[in-house]
Structure 1
């Protein structure tokens, strides 16, 4: 597979070409994906456009090995979960592809990380192994030439002092924070840092009661005196991320695309700006599966941006029971 072409896609024609090449590679080399495509009765020779490509139910990453034959994994990422919960596993054959993906996307949205103070308030991620988010943040911190860059576990006073110093120095700063930890911090401290980019990720992790996005963002905007809260749309099963610079509207790099499917017919895509279940095309997922049907509900807008509206119950995912069992 030509990774150079994937990360240099310029238009929908090039995107479609890369999708078709990736599809045929994965149908040949990823056994579980091939079985799934056969199971739902799709003839690969009839697939001429990325909207015709079957999307693998994301649940299969919990029960099956989604990996290209003949490859050896360099790293395995795993999802978070409570005790006893079955987690997703994503084996990565070429970690350089993941590095290229998140580096290019981050720089396109936020600039060169060398010029940015990268701070991280991600306790639940640091307390387990296999987090793809921690791998990314580690790399961004290493690229940063700002001495304040680093992690803050539960040392909120140190974080408050660091933010105050960076604000006074007018240093461009990105704070990655799991939602519950940002809210914990906001209850204790108020920071006047209007140019701070707060990158919310990860949700409540069972630490606090669930809240709607608007309520969370209002609390954080007031605590940090910022106009908006940024968010990352990523997951263990992907090697690319979309970013929201505010209002919960996400945009993607050119090798990542979001589609929506009918929740009552998982093989049917919705072409209008309607609410549906999110399907993801991540062309960086060369050696696993690039075409994934998630459990997220979302809405696509005409410019290709999208909004995540919540999740639906896994029982709504049809067509994968045979492989799950």
Structure 2
């Protein structure tokens, strides 16, 4: 169906059944159009095994996450036909969506918007006040969402004026003259929601308090954009409406929902306060767990479809917004079609693991000048120890590794943690407590104790930067420093974890029975701060940095003393190799599922040791896969807390991998019943695949005939652990190649177990110094 035929129909005239027929025909045609003309879209359809014969409704057509337009140039036209590139709004440094338009799509966007808006304002053009500044629309070849919105709505204005100058100040005289000139006419006002409030309403309120008033009772305001900033100011849509009416008489106010990825298909708010889908578009609410369609009144993720885009594959998109369908064909305003409500953006998932939370947002917290030592340390919170103890650490003598007093302290700490009732709720705390047992510490001493006749002591002060979103990592790092004989300053996670409170409470209690150990432990918490990092780095003899590449880079801006050393645990990735024949011989496959769950889901698959890729070998691959993933899924359903954004993240990563420049062979998305467990099968494996690694139950899957096929994937310094189900000897030919990567080969279920050999470092050597006799 040609789009021109849709323009002949009133935008809110068709019933549910009539609209579904038209939408299905048009969107199916668009899907084929983009499959033929957009390479990336075609590869995505291949990845999801799209079959047009199975499409019974437009709701069956695959949807693209809107964030793909920030990562990929998705277009179905040649560069010569591009007449306009529209970009989404984004803060400095953020990637923005790029939408490529040809003359036909651009024209149809405008025609659709005219039909929609005229249904609310009438067909005549009106004097128009643009509640923004003129500079927004200067670059006509590349429009931001803000500029595109202004230019799009400008077609409804007969005579236009900008309410703000380029300094974002209200043009009082210009507005007064404009109102005087058109005092008996209906006036259209347009702007973005937050800017209307911040620069128009607040200034009118200030002027009114001084006796200067404006009468916009004849006005119609159309506004759009996010409500997040206003909600933070406790401004609801009702408050927004009431305040504007009070300050200037505005009563006809229409919000709209839209996005640059589907310009033209805006969803206008009716007189009853409902957002409406027109004939040119529709809204579907999807359940985050499996993307099935929600019923009326059920909250979920918003999918938007549009009949307009022919120059780019934007006809079926999954947003990152949350909403609810209120009804269909029965709004009191009389308009047919769905009407709905927006709740706002999906909450970002709170992910555990060794990701770069410490480095994120650094710039806004960096100090602009050097301060005195006491003033710098006043910004530090001490969880154990204090400023005086920290300063005196410079004079604390280093101990020999596995010092008797340290071992006794750790043994008592182990008993305290294991018998603490609150600790039993947290497997990571109990695991840490068991690791500290006297027998475990003696085994470490047996393996790492020095027997060369020389004298070995700690390096002095160890300064530890623990990852901000891993509760227990800081404690393992602390114990490593203690076992090696060092005094320790440890920056614990800034987030308030219950595990941190439990462990620190136990440490403080046990220290009372071991006062001689107090000078060796100072646990601190502080926000990202260069001055503090500079001070503590200058004090230390060894710095241990946990996090990602960006965290390491930021910390290295703080110089170390010339004799100090550094141990860094940066971005890493891991894999699992499963011998299907060995797996089929395992009697307790539920335990294996639990072991793999603990290796992956306990840290949202973000620990450097968590397998991102599962490699299958042996003669029973398909049978083993079916059982393995079924058992794991049952474990995940029972234990894992799913967050809605996770489903969108996984879908986005799979489509990015499918459309990558690097060829990973045939990429196939395999969702295991729900978004709790997503597998992506690839037929070529290389380290570049980890540019698209996911989390929270997102696994790449590869079938292997020869272990040497893993050479490219493992020959990277970022490759850390191979988890094994089967005989470890099967990877020996791979390891003997002299790879740059792979530091550990362990049984599945043990990848998270900490050891003084970590990331290829022997910490017993790196955190000590040797006096040669």
* TM-score, length-scaled by structure 1: 0.86
CA pair 233-159 structure 1, distance change in 2 beyond 3 A: farther
Pair 1:244-2:269 in alignment: yes
Distance change >3 Å, CA 2–CA 248, structure 1 → 2:
same
With a CA cutoff of 8 Å and minimum separation of 6, indicate the structure with the bigger relative contact order: 1
Compute the displacement of 1:82 (Å).
Answer: 1.1
Q: Deviations over 1:276-324 (max 9, x none)?
A: 1111111111221200111111111222111111110464313221333
Name 2:63's counterpart in structure 1.
55
Single out whichever of 119-128 and 286-295 deviates more from structure 2: 119-128
- Tell me whether 1:235 sits opposite 2:251 in the alignment: no
1:232-286 Cα deviation digits (max 9, x unpaired): 21111012211113564211321111111012223x1213331111111111112
Is 1:321 aligned with 2:344? no
How large is the RMSD of aligned CA atoms in angstroms?
Answer: 2.8
Deviation at 1:159, TM superposition (A): 5.5
Distance 2:303 2:85 in 1: 23
| 1:6/1:18 contact within 8 Å kept | no
1:180-195 to structure 2, matched below 5 A, reads 180-183=194-197, 184-189=199-204, 190-195=213-218
Which shifted more, 104-113 or 196-205? 196-205
Task: Please give the per-residue CA displacement for 1:27-56, whole angstroms capped at 9, x wherever unaligned.
Answer: 332332332232233322211211111111
Q: What is the alpha-carbon distance in structure 2 between the residues aligned to residue 80 and residue 188 of structure 1?
A: 24
Deviations 1:134-160 (A, max 9, x none): 345436545643x4x222223341464
Is this contact kept in 1: 2:131–2:200, CA < 8 A? no
Instruction: Please give the alpha-carbon distance, in whole angstroms, between the structure 2 residues aligned to 1:80 and 1:274.
Output: 29
Structure 2 partner of 1:112: 123
- Please give the alpha-carbon distance, in whole angstroms, between the structure 2 residues aligned to 1:47 and 1:207: 41
Q: Kindly state the Cα deviation for residue 181 of structure 1 after the two structures are TM-superposed.
A: 2.7
Instruction: Name the residue aligned to 2:23.
Output: 15
For the 8 Å contact 1:248–1:308, the answer to whether it is kept is no
Report the Cα distance in structure 1 between the residues aligned to 2:138 and 2:62, rounded to whole angstroms: 36
Out of 36, 49, 62, which is 1:28 matched to? Answer: 36
Retained in 2: the 8 A contact 1:178–1:200? yes
Q: Note the C-alpha offset of 1:2.
A: 1.9
Alignment of 1:246-285 (within 5 A): 246=271, 248-266=273-291, 268-285=292-309
- Shift of the 159–250 alpha-carbon distance from structure 1 to 2, 3 Å rule, reads farther
CA distance in 2, matches of 1:151, 1:211: 28
Match of 1:98 in 2: 109
Conservation of the 8 A alpha-carbon contact between 1:99 and 1:136: no
Q: Which has the larger radius of gyration?
A: 2
Q: Matches of 1:14 and 1:117 in 2, distance apart?
A: 36
TM-score for both structures, normalised by structure 2 = 0.38
1:67-126 CA deviation, whole Å, 9 max, x = no partner?
Answer: 114463110000111110111111112222222222222223222242x11211124844
Q: 5+ residue gaps in structure 2?
A: 205-212, 329-337, 349-644, 657-691, 693-773
Q: Is the 8 A contact 2:226 2:344 kept in 1?
A: no
User: Which residue number in structure 1 is paired with residue 172 of structure 2?
Assistant: 157
Q: Secondary structure at the residue paired with 2:259? A: coil
Name the SS for the 1:81 alignment partner.
coil
Cα distance change, pair 139–297 in 1 and its aligned pair in 2 (3 A): closer
| Greater helix fraction, Structure 1 or Structure 2 | 2
Contact 1:278–1:295 under 8 Å retained in 2: yes
Partner SS for 1:305: strand
| 8 A contact 2:30–2:315 mirrored in 1 | yes
Contact 1:61 1:88 in 2 (8 A): yes
